[in-house]
């Protein structure tokens, strides 16, 4: 089944291929993030470590990779049932 809303491969503002956009560009008084800035953030060491921690926690709670929808739903229910903020370990 085809995705009814595919991601465009060009910027709506410039009609240039997304791969050629800069990380940020000014739009008046605000900064507009581009696809490249999100890709860079997704590949940062801190983000990778965060993903690894989340996957480790998911697996420790009974999830498997690849996960089924029921596993994800159960994981989210477990997380939602925990107090926030988590108590610090003594």
Structure tokens at 46: 């801190």
Q: What is the pTM of this model?
A: 0.50
Q: Which residues pair with 27 in a beta bridge?
A: 30
Using CB atoms within 10 A of its CB, is residue 12 exposed (0-12), middle (13-18) or buried (19+)? Answer: exposed
| pLDDT tier at 18, thresholds 50, 70, 90 | very low
**Of 3, 29, 35, nearest in space to 16 by CA:** 35
Which positions ≥6 away from 17 have C-beta within 8 Å?
A: 9, 10
pLDDT in tens, 31-72: 667 777 777 777 888 888 998 999 999 999 999 999 999 999
**Dist. CA 6–CA 19, nearest whole Å:** 16
**Dist. CA 37–CA 32, nearest whole Å:** 10
Region 4-28: mean pLDDT is: 47
């Amino acid at each position: 089944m085809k995705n009814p809303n595919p991601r465009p491969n060009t910027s709506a503002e410039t009609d240039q291929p997304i791969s050629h956009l800069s990380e940020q560009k000014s739009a008046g008084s605000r900064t507009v993030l581009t696809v490249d800035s999100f890709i860079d953030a997704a590949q940062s060491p801190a983000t990778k470590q965060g993903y690894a921690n989340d996957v480790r926690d998911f697996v420790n709670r009974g999830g498997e990779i690849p996960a089924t929808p029921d596993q994800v739903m159960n994981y989210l229910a477990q997380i939602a049932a925990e107090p926030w903020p988590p108590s610090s370990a003594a």
